Structure formats: C-alpha cells, structure tokens
Amino acid sequence: MASEYASSGEYIKHHLQNLTYGQLPAGYERHDHNGQVEVLQQATWTVAHNAAEAKDMGFWAINLDSMIFSVGLGVLFLFFFSLAARRATAGIPAGLQNFVEWVVEFIDDAVRGSFTYKNPLVAPLALTIFLWVFLMNFMDLIPVDWLPYAASLAGVPYFKVVPSTDPNVTFGLSLSIFFLVLFYSVKMKGPGGFFAELAFQPFPKWLFPVNLLLEGVGLIAKPISLALRLFGNMYAGEMIFILIALMFGGGWLMAVFGGALQWAWAVFHILIITLQAFIFMTLTIVYLDMAHSEHH
C-alpha cells in the first residue's frame, strides 16, 4: 500500500492522521484531491479532508476512529467478562472463566500490594484500566495497512486504529484518574487537610508559597506524565511499524527483510503493550493510595 503514495512522507502522514469530525466556519475554502476549491456558504459539520482542516475545526472536533475503537473495545471487554460471570460455575474453571479468574486474581494481588486502605472502587477500576488500555494497545499489532485500506474502499479517507496513540484518549483517561485523586484527597482529608498537605510541606509553614508551588506542580504533573508516558510509547511503536511497512514497497528483497523485522518487532511489542497497561494501572493505584494517606 505504501507504493500508492507519492512519497514516504505522505504515506507516514496519512497513517498518523485521525478521522476527524468537526465544524468548519462559513466562508471556509476546502480543497479536494483534484485541486478544486469549495467555499462553504454556512458553518458545516463534516469530516476533515486533511490535517489542516482537522486543525481548523478547533477544540470541539472529535476523532471518530479513536472513539469507535476505544468505546468498541470497552464494550468487548464488558461483554466477555459479563459472559464469564453468567456462565461461572463452582467447579474447576475452564476456558473463559479460567482466564477471567486468573486476570481478576492478578489484579487483586496488584491492588493489595500497592493500596493499603479499603475502597471497593479501586480493584474494579484497576481491572478496567488494565484490560481496556491493553486492548487499545493490542490494536497496534494489527498490520498498519489492513484496516485503513479496508476503510478506504468504503470512502473513508483516514482510519487510525490504535486509540492509545491519540493524546486525546490518553489525556481523557489520565484526567479521569486525576479527578478521582482530587475527590478522594478532599474526601479523606477534608478541604483544609488537603490544602495543608499542599502548602505546609516539605519546607516550614512560613514558606507555604514555595511549598504550594512545588506541590502544585507535582500534583498537576501526575495526569500529564500518566498520559504522555502511554501516548509516547505507543506512538513510537506505531511509527516503527509504519517505517517497517515502507520496506514492502522496495522490492521483494526488502519485503522479505521487512516481514522478518515486522514479526520480530511484533513479538517484542507484546511485552511493551502489556507493560504500558500495567504501568498505567499501577500508577493509578499508587496515586489513589497517596490520596487516601495523610502526611503528618
């Protein structure tokens, strides 16, 4: 499929572009692939034809492919786990039930090792985060051309299939965790206790402006680092798959070498996608444990 593009750069840009839906203002000039110009007579909600249009759509634009795959994978996770719950038996587990019990036990051990308080929300949240992020990361193992090519046959210009390579998705996840951290920090310590934790440590109380600045930066850095760590690792992995895919347009010798590289990187990438899901889950547990603890 790489041979269909004018240059390697065009191929890479195409595979890194999301299918974006948003509003273009009245008077906006749209350029199609044939160089024709269309001037919109009124504000129009539409799918972006290129990266420039996606940028001009502004804050309220939505990446349809990221939403389709992230929500779809979440529903898939819920379906199989609810199916296992309905079919659960008291005997020796097998098949799906055995896998679900193994995953639940693994998550339970991780929570017990990192969370020292009692909160019925933490374990289900950790389970959801781990499997949901893992499934989104797992999409990176599908050959980069298969689904975009199938979508192009239906007239869809872009189709990015790995939700965790979209910073909107990773920041959406991390900000949800951040709001939970703030909620439990205030709930467990009270507004005054939470403020005192930010303002009166690690330096003496009379240096509270410095303390507030340092602790505030540290607090805000949590969701940013959580989102960028997942996004950066998955984006880099996707980029490597795209670069390997370029080899298939360089003759049979390069195609054979690219196939071997693709297989080797996919095997190694299984470790990466699992590790990133585990790190995201573990940091969530640790942040919630910190939100429950009081500093004296």
CB-hemisphere CA count at 13 Å for 276? 30
How far from 20 is each of 11, 44, 139, 147, 158, CA to CA, in Å?
Answer: 18, 13, 19, 17, 8
Given the residues 119, 152, 168, 229, the one annotated as active site: 229
Q: Is 225 among the catalytic positions?
A: yes
Written as one string, the DSSP assignment of 186-197 is: HHHHHHHHHHHH
Active site residue 233: yes
Tokens of 240: 């490597």
- Amino acid making up residue 255: A
Give CA–CA dist 115/288, Å, rounded: 8
- Answer yes or no: are the C-beta atoms of 15 and 51 closer than 8 Å: no
Q: Rounded to an integer, what distance in angstroms lies between the CA atom of residue 266 and that of residue 90?
A: 38
Encoding tokens for residue 56? 């001009």
Catalytic residue check, 176: no
For tokens 């240059």, name the residue.
7
The pairing of strands 44-47 and 20-24 is antiparallel
At 25, phi and psi to the nearest 5?
Answer: -75, 160
265 and 241 in contact (C-beta within 8 Å)? yes
Residues designated catalytic: 225, 229, 233
